[in-house]
Amino acid sequence: MHTLDGVTRSDQYRALGLSTFAFTVCFAVWTIFSIIGVRIKQELGLSDTQFGLLVATPVLTGSISRIFLGVWTEQFGGRIMFPLQMLITSVAVWLLATVHSYEVFLIAALGLGLAGGSFIVGVAYTSRWFEKERQGTALGIFGAGNVGAAVTNFAAPFLVVALGWTGTAKVYAVVLAATAVLFYLLAKTDPVQEERKRTKAKPVSAGTQLEPLKNMQVWRFATYYFFVFGGFVALASFLPRYYVGAYGLPLTTAGVFAGFYSLPGSVFRALGGWMSDKWGARFVMYLTFLVSLVLLFVMSYPETSYTVAGIHGPIAFTFGLNATMFMLMTVVLGFVMSLGKAAVYKHIPVYYPHHVGAVGGLVGMIGGLGGFFLPIAFGFLLDRTGVWTAPFMLMFVLVLVSTIWMHVAIRRMERARHPALAEETHLSDLPETPLAAPQDAPEREPRVVPHPAR
């Protein structure tokens, strides 16, 4: 574990505050297509599949870049990598305003996607400032920077109305560049980099950093993150389009409703970190998956009319969610997904304290790929089925598979740790034999305990 000698609470709060603010700005930029993409879709006459690809392309770059950005942050430190990543991204966002064809939009979106790589830079940088016992809470607070998606959903529609989508892109580019400069000027070099400077030690090689990726456990964490983060990004980008199409809402209202999903899906990540520190990440993951299953089942049910044969004749009724009820369910869904995001990343600095960048990069990459593939799948399902709730059917299946896989893996781990469980086929809450009475307890008539039926 890295040393924290000489690190004050003020240093920790400075690092956490700056990282969280920078990540919030980056995440707002990363999800900008959820708003300006609606106007671009209208101008270019894109299909839902093409729109899904456009929204998902920045997520692809943001996901894949997390591997090498994580390794480089471990080697060179977040104070260097964070501003560098933001400056490069700001150039791509500015150039976005000069594009007028769909194919070039996709290329520009690849550069914009580097904003998503900021997550692993911040995780690696922030985790170095905190003790193991406080890392879950600290990373949960940092991860609340996902609120940048809500910032975009709330603010960008009004910027688009006032400045157009090209003006909105330029505003985002300027804000991102200014954030990069401020971070570099105000942030401090993390304790690990300071220790390397003092001892003149060389950075850990990329090969060593990637060594833990051979462990299946790492890939299991990544699978969970595919839903809790990838699904979050996908829905944050898709919901404005859903509200406009399914309910006929204006873009400004659709953006606000989508923001109500993104907000709890971001700010409560800090609570998820605290809960993971207190009750364990496994408990939080079960809570996330089970609640999500219930919500997604209802959300995926299309508006349907029924006629049943009653005693006195046919009885007709309709099931469906209005826009307000649907929005309220997305708020709860965003809340539990935020808890799950924190729970996944609670594991990484505990199990892999010297490989946070590489392991966190892989987990973040797989999660980000969820944000890439799911919007494309959403658009494909809409084009093929013509059912607005089809994307939520896909999400339900994804959570169901993840829940079963997690539970099976946990049971296998328990049996590996306690081999006697593997031979027991009829588990019961009743003991095989009565518990012995304490020595100083008065004797009483022996009680017969029935043996479980076999």
Q: Tell me: pLDDT of 108 over 80.
A: yes
With a CB cutoff of 8 Å and minimum separation 6, the contacts of 337 are: 227, 228, 229, 231, 232, 265, 288, 292
Whole-number average pLDDT of the chain: 80
pLDDT of residue 11: 87
Contacts for 243 with CB less than 8 Å, ≥ 6 apart: 249, 253, 254, 257, 258, 323
The pLDDT of residue 222 is 81
> In this model, does residue 406 exceed pLDDT 80?
yes
254-307: pLDDT as tens digits: 888 888 887 787 678 778 878 887 887 788 889 999 999 999 999 998 877 778
| Residue-wise pLDDT tens digits, 172-228 | 999 999 999 999 999 988 888 887 777 777 666 656 656 666 677 777 778 888 889
pLDDT for 219: 78
Tell me what pLDDT residue 424 has.
52
pLDDT cut 70: percent of the chain above it = 85
| 392 or 233, greater pLDDT | 392
- Better pLDDT: 350 or 172: 172
pLDDT digits (tens, 9 = 90+) for 13-26: 899 999 999 999 99
User: Residue 159 and residue 164: Cα distance in Å, rounded?
Assistant: 7
pLDDT of 433 above 60? no
Q: How far apart are CA 68 and CA 173, in angstroms?
A: 23
- Low-confidence winner among 21-30, 46-55, 117-126, 345-354 (lowest mean pLDDT): 345-354
The percent of residues above 90 in pLDDT, for the chain, comes to 17
pTM for this structure?
0.64
Q: Where are the domains of the chain?
A: 9-419
Question: What pLDDT does 356 receive?
Answer: 65
Is 338 or 345 the better-scoring residue by pLDDT? 338
Place 423 in a pLDDT band, splitting at 50, 70 and 90. low
Length of the chain in residues, anyone? Answer: 454
- Cα dihedral 211, 215, 220, 225, rounded to 10, equals -10
What sign does the CA torsion over 70, 76, 78, 84 have?
Answer: negative
Give residue 84's pLDDT. Answer: 93
Give the pLDDT confidence of 73-91 residue by residue, as tens digits. 878 888 899 999 999 999 9
Helix (H) or strand (E) holding 442: none
* Per-residue pLDDT, 241: 84
Predicted pLDDT of residue 413: 72
Q: What is the reported pLDDT for 258?
A: 86
**Measured CA distances, 168 to 58, 74, 163, 171 (Å):** 17, 34, 6, 5
Distance separating alpha carbons of residues 267 and 140, to the nearest angstrom: 9
Q: What is the distance between the alpha carbons of residues 164 and 217, in angstroms, rounded to a whole number?
A: 46
Mean pLDDT score, 23-31: 89
What is the average pLDDT across 233-250? Answer: 86
Looking at 1.20.1250.20, 1.10.1040.10, 3.30.200.20, 3.40.50.2300, the CATH number of the domain 9-419 comes to 1.20.1250.20
Q: Locate the DSSP E strands across 242-366.
A: 304-310, 313-319
Would you say residue 46 has pLDDT above 90?
no
Tokens standing for 185? 């000027």
* Res 331: pLDDT: 92
pLDDT at 2 over 60: no
The span from the CA of 264 to the CA of 262, in Å, is 6
